[in-house]
Structures are given as structure tokens and as C-alpha cells.
């Protein structure tokens, strides 16, 4: 089978498979409900999915559900690399009808898809936008009726007619920018008994397939006690399955310790990594095509995608003039980085007391940042990297941890002093090893811009080069920092980094 045929088959089949992950939210949900799923192909690990969901309100539409699904598929079949990395965000009604969506999908063949859509009820169509910026192409996709979200498991169990065995409804697929009629069949309904502790379980199994494509084999969806547990489908002569899992196992590691060990892998650098006279460093990265788009431009780095597979990253010294640009943020957007939560529990009385003590009587936000950073730096005792998480209040008692605990505590102290903060993951340059190492630090929003703070480093090392990958408020992450660290896993061992020019010599 040729490469083009294999890709064509996968592009036809996979959208109908990766529609499954979702959660039916009964009653009021907690912000940031988080679910991890392990993907297997023919019994072997092939990637993971992560779903975040929350209830939101709209002044016109009322209560809505917002979901964000991250998919990482690592799959080679018949000599073809079919790996995909995608992020789909949906806003949908309680019955699953799709209101708006945003998709970013990068594949191993180098194709990058960026597409979004908003339902226009007056004309019965999605206003679709392909691409970003001035190169974006706008179009209308008409639908006979407002279709449901592709995250089927979030609404199927509650919307499937109670007395029916077979039911058909329209579902929209952002990958192909079209809707399709899916036929669902309730194939099994079992009440399993258990002991006094487990209390038994109720299992439901559904099968579905698109009516327009009879060649697509049926997918099976499994629910247990109202929660989506997994799905199965035959693809390219093998079984592709999704199963609910602990984060470490979903990421392909048998334990948290194995995940931590993988995150200690460094990326060697070819060339001299030093700030140039213009206080910039230009790096050339060779990364897998499906990782395109993971690295984003930010306050202290500029990312440029090359046509030959090269990604150019220009690092900016935070103290340099080139990095002094201000950022416009709406007050509502800042609130996420000021709130108290499970991990950054800045409202905790001990955290508030420590912040007041460390900040002193200054009202200058920049001085507060410096004092809080020095406070954490002077007291923390270092331990080996671990993705196992402690709340800031617990770190304050033990004063032990790695970059994760440093970042969580410092972020909490900043928020206690009314300074917006977020944790950031990426790679920090280690001069002795001439390599970039996975790392976490903090950014504080001061005088209109995000500024990096890192209590794991000495003040003299504050200008150490960093490659920034992603950030989080940790408000929506019930498993702590595992989600943000997951973005780093595919870089070590698959990325080549070299200095694009000798900045120091200019």
C-alpha cells in the first residue's frame, strides 16, 4: 500500500475515532475537570489524550460546556509515520450542539492545520476561518441543522433516547470541516454487582459509524457509572483503543518515577550559547514535524518556521531592550493568574503570612518580585525532579523540592501580594553540560509585561537562556504539573539544537 493511500485511509478513519473522548457533566461541574486516556495500537502504546472541561455561562445561550482535548498519536504503519499532535477546543450546549470550535493539528507529513468556526444560527452555517493572520481564508459551511460536538462521549449518554436502541444524529468534524450523520446503537446494558466497598457498577456499550461511509468499521464506546472509560475501532487491520488511565501511564510510562526519569533527559547543543551584543541568541532546531506549532513566540522568544523543516528560535535577554514590549491583557484574563486553587493556594493563611513577611513594606511590584524570589531561593532545599505535586502551603512547611515546588510556591506568594503569576515549562541552558534541560519557572505580570522569575538559580544566573514551551495558571489541572510537563516529553532524543550564528562575536 502506498504512502499516499495509507495517509488517505487514516485521514478518513481517525476523525471518527478521536471524537470519542469527553465527559458527561451531571449537575454543576468543577472548573477544569481533567481526564487522561492512553492510546494503544495493536496492543502497543501509541500516544495519549487529555480532556479538560468546565461549565461556563453565556448571557444569551445560558449554561454552556467548554472542552479542550489534546491528542498525541505516535504511530508508524506500513513504513509510514502517521504521528499527529492536535488540540481541539469546543464550546457546546448542554445537549452537545456545537457553538464554536478551534482546532490546531500538526502531522508527521509536515501539514499544519489551523481552523476555527462559529455557528451562525440566522443562516444555519458555521463561519469558518482557515489559517491565521492576514493569510486566513474565510468561508461558510452550511448544515441542515445545528450539529453536535465531535466530543461524542460528553453528550451521548444523556441525549440518547431512553427507549431507543438505534439513534441517528448529526455531528460536525473540524478536521474535514463538514457534518456527518452518525448512527448509534446501544449494544449492551449491564449492571454488575460488587462488594460492600465498590457497590458494583453500571456499564453501557454503544457502537456507531457514519452513514455516509459504510466502509468505516463501527467504533465501540464504553461507559461505566456514567463516565466514559474507553473506545475501540479496527484501523488498518489492527485495533486502535483508548482507555482511561493515570497520567504517567497515559504518557507511556509505567510509573511516575519512570516519567520523572524521562523528564531529566537533556538536549545537547552544537555551538557556543552566549548572549550577543544585541542581547539575543539565535538557535536552529530540527524537530519532528508533528511538533510544529508547539513552540510559540512569547515575550522573550521569537519562533519562525522554516520551509526546510528548520525552526528558528530567537531568544531575547529579559533585561535587554528588545524584550521590553508591553502586553495587552483584559482584566478578565488576568483573573485566572490571580486566583487561589488546589496547587497555588495563595489564599491559605500561612502563604499570605509568608508573603507579607517576605515582601516587607514596599508597594513597588518589581521590588516585591525580587524580595519574594530571594525569600524562596534562600530557604528551599533541593530534591530530585518529580512530577508528584504538593500545594504551595505544603511546600512552605517542608521547604524541600525541585523546580516544580520552587515555581508553585513562588507563584502563590506573588498572588498573595496581588501580583498575577503563572508557571512556565521549557528548557533551560546548562553551561557545564552544553545542553538544554527540562525546567519550570515563574512569570509575573508587572507593569504591563510578563517577567521571568526563577528561585532555583542564583541572582547571577538570572539571564540564563531558556526555550519556552508552554505556561499554565494551574487552575484547571487536577493532576498538577503533569499536563504542562507532558509538552516536553517529545523533544529530548528527537530534537537537534545548534547555534544559528555566533551572537557573542558580533
Rounded Cα–Cα distance for residues 385 and 405 (Å): 10
CA geometry: angle 433, 435, 441, nearest 5 deg: 105
Pick from 95, 84, 28, 89: nearest CA to 56: 28
Encode 169-237 in three state secondary structure: EEEEECCCCEEEEEEEEEEEEEEECCCCCCCCEEEEEEEEEECCCCCCCCEEEEEECCEEEEEEEEECC
So what CATH class is 260-505?
Answer: alpha beta
**434: Cα within 13 Å, side-chain hemisphere:** 7
Residues 6+ apart with CB under 8 A from 59: none
CA dihedral 133→136→142→143, nearest 10 degrees, is -60
Lowest mean pLDDT among 78-87, 156-165, 251-260: 251-260
Pick from 70, 69, 85, 498: nearest CA to 292: 85
Q: What is the pLDDT of residue 232?
A: 92
Write out pLDDT tens, residues 346-382: 999 999 999 999 999 999 999 999 999 999 999 999 8
430 membership: H or E segment, kind and range = strand 421-430
Lowest mean pLDDT among 30-34, 87-91, 234-238, 466-470: 30-34
Pick from 425, 421, 398: nearest CA to 411: 421
Q: What is the pLDDT of residue 12?
A: 47
pLDDT mean across residues, the chain: 85
Rounded Cα–Cα distance for residues 468 and 188 (Å): 47
Q: What is the pLDDT of residue 505?
A: 40
pLDDT top residue among 264 and 144: 144
Q: What is the pLDDT of residue 31?
A: 43
- Percentage of residues in the chain having pLDDT higher than 70: 84
pLDDT of 467 higher than 90: yes
Write out pLDDT tens, residues 374-391: 999 999 998 766 656 789
Rounded Cα–Cα distance for residues 494 and 18 (Å): 25
pLDDT of 2 higher than 50: no
Every domain range in the chain assigned CATH 3.10.620.30: 260-505
- Percentage of residues in the chain having pLDDT higher than 90: 51
**441 pairs with which residues across the strands?**
424
Exposed e or buried b for every residue in 307-323, given b needs 16+ CB within 10 A? Answer: eeeebebbbbbbeeeeb
Pairing of strands 496-499, 267-270: parallel
**209 pairs with which residues across the strands?**
183
CB atoms within 10 A of CB 190: 10
Helix axes 403-416, 365-379, angle to 10 degrees: 140
Question: Contact at 8 Å (CB) between 343 and 408?
Answer: yes
What's the average model confidence in pLDDT over 42-68? 90
Rounded Cα–Cα distance for residues 250 and 37 (Å): 6
| H helices present in 330-454, as ranges | 331-334, 349-359, 365-379, 392-398, 403-416
Rounded Cα–Cα distance for residues 387 and 111 (Å): 32
Beta strands in 59-157 (DSSP E): 62-73, 76-77, 80-81, 84-93, 98-107, 112-120, 125-130, 137-142
Question: Contact at 8 Å (CB) between 349 and 362?
Answer: no
Question: Contact at 8 Å (CB) between 34 and 69?
Answer: no
What pTM, to 2 d.p., does this model score?
0.79
pLDDT of 173 higher than 90: yes
What's the average model confidence in pLDDT over 282-289? 91
pLDDT of 16 higher than 60: no
pLDDT of 271 higher than 50: yes
Rounded Cα–Cα distance for residues 327 and 269 (Å): 31
Pick from 425, 465, 493, 471: nearest CA to 266: 493
Q: Is 92 exposed, middle or buried (0-12, 13-18, 19+ CB in 10 A)?
A: buried
- pLDDT bin (cut points 50, 70, 90) of residue 324 is low
Write out pLDDT tens, residues 399-425: 988 899 999 999 999 999 999 999 999
Residues 6+ apart with CB under 8 A from 161: 167
pLDDT of 329 higher than 80: no
Residue positions counted in the chain: 506
Q: What is the pLDDT of residue 7?
A: 47
The alpha carbon of 89 is separated from its chain's Cα centroid by a whole number of angstroms, namely 11
Residues 6+ apart with CB under 8 A from 499: 269, 270, 271, 272, 273, 281, 282, 283, 284
Distances (CA, A) of 366 to 352, 371, 471: 18, 9, 21
Exposed e or buried b for every residue in 2-28, given b needs 16+ CB within 10 A? Answer: eeeebbebbeebbbbbbbbbbbbbeee
Q: What is the pLDDT of residue 98?
A: 97
Beta strands in 225-329 (DSSP E): 227-235, 238-244, 267-270, 280-286, 301-305, 310-316
| H helices present in 57-215, as ranges | 156-159
Amino acid at each position: 500500500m502506498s504512502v499516499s493511500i495509507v495517509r488517505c485511509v487514516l485521514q478518513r478513519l481517525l476523525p471518527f475515532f478521536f471524537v470519542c473522548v469527553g465527559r458527561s457533566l451531571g449537575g454543576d461541574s468543577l472548573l477544569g475537570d481533567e481526564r487522561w486516556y492512553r492510546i494503544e495500537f495493536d496492543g502497543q502504546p501509541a500516544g495519549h489524550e487529555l480532556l479538560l472541561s468546565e461549565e461556563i455561562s453565556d448571557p444569551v445561550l445560558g449554561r454552556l460546556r467548554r472542552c479542550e482535548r489534546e491528542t498525541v498519536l505516535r504511530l508508524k504503519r506500513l513504513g509510514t509515520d502517521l504521528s499527529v499532535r492536535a488540540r481541539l477546543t469546543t464550546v457546546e450546549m448542554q445537549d452537545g450542539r456545537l457553538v464554536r470550535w478551534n482546532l490546531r493539528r500538526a502531522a508527521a507529513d509536515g501539514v499544519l492545520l489551523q481552523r476555527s468556526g462559529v455557528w451562525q444560527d440566522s443562516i444555519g452555517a458555521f463561519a469558518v476561518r482557515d489559517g491565521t493572520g492576514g493569510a486566513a481564508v474565510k468561508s461558510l459551511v452550511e448544515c441542515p441543522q445545528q450539529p453536535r460536538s465531535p466530543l461524542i462521549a460528553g453528550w451521548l449518554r444523556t441525549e440518547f433516547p431512553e427507549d431507543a436502541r438505534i439513534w441517528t444524529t448529526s455531528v460536525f468534524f473540524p478536521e474535514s470541516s463538514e457534518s456527518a450523520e452518525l448512527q448509534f446503537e446501544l449494544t449492551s446494558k449491564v449492571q454488575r454487582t460488587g462488594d460492600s466497598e465498590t457497590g458494583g457498577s453500571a456499564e453501557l456499550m454503544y457502537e456507531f459509524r457514519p452513514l455516509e461511509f459504510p466502509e468505516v468499521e463501527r467504533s465501540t464506546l464504553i461507559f461505566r457509572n456514567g463516565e466514559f472509560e474507553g473506545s475501540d475501532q479496527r484501523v488498518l487491520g489492527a485495533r486502535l483503543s483508548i482507555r482511561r488511565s493515570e497520567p504517567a501511564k497515559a504518557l507511556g510510562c509505567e510509573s511516575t518515577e519512570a516519567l520523572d526519569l524521562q523528564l531529566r533527559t537533556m538536549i545537547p547543543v552544537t555551538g557556543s550559547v552566549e548572549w550577543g551584543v544585541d542581547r539575543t541568541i539565535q538557535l536552529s532546531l530540527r524537530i519532528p514535524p508533528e511538533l510544529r506549532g508547539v513552540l510559540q513566540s512569547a515575550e522573550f522568544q521569537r519562533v519562525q518556521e522554516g520551509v526546510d523543516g528548520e525552526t528558528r528560535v530567537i531568544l531575547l535577554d529579559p533585561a535587554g531592550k528588545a524584550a521590553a514590549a508591553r502586553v495587552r491583557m483584559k482584566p478578565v484574563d488576568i483573573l485566572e493568574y490571580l486566583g487561589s486553587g488546589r496547587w497555588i493556594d495563595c489564599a491559605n493563611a500561612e502563604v499570605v503570612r509568608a508573603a507579607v513577611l517576605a515582601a516587607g513594606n514596599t508597594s513597588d511590584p518589581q521590588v516585591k518580585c525580587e524580595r519574594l524570589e530571594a525569600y524562596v531561593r534562600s530557604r528551599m532545599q533541593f530534591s530530585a525532579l518529580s512530577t508528584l505535586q504538593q500545594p504551595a502551603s505544603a511546600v512552605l512547611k517542608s521547604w524541600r523540592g525541585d523546580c516544580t515546588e520552587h515555581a508553585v510556591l513562588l507563584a502563590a506568594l506573588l498572588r498573595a501580594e496581588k501580583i498575577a503569576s503563572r508557571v512556565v515549562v521549557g528548557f533551560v541552558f546548562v553551561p557545564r553540560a552544553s545542553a538544554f534541560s527540562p525546567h519550570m519557572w515563574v512569570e509575573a505580570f508587572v507593569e504591563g509585561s510578563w517577567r521571568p522569575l526563577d528561585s532555583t538559580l542564583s541572582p547571577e544566573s538570572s539571564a540564563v537562556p531558556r526555550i519556552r514551551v508552554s505556561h499554565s495558571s494551574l487552575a484547571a489541572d487536577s493532576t498538577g504539573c503533569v499536563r504542562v510537563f507532558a509538552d516536553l516529553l517529545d523533544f529530548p532524543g528527537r530534537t537537534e539544537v545548534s547555534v544559528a550564528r555566533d551572537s557573542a562575536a558580533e
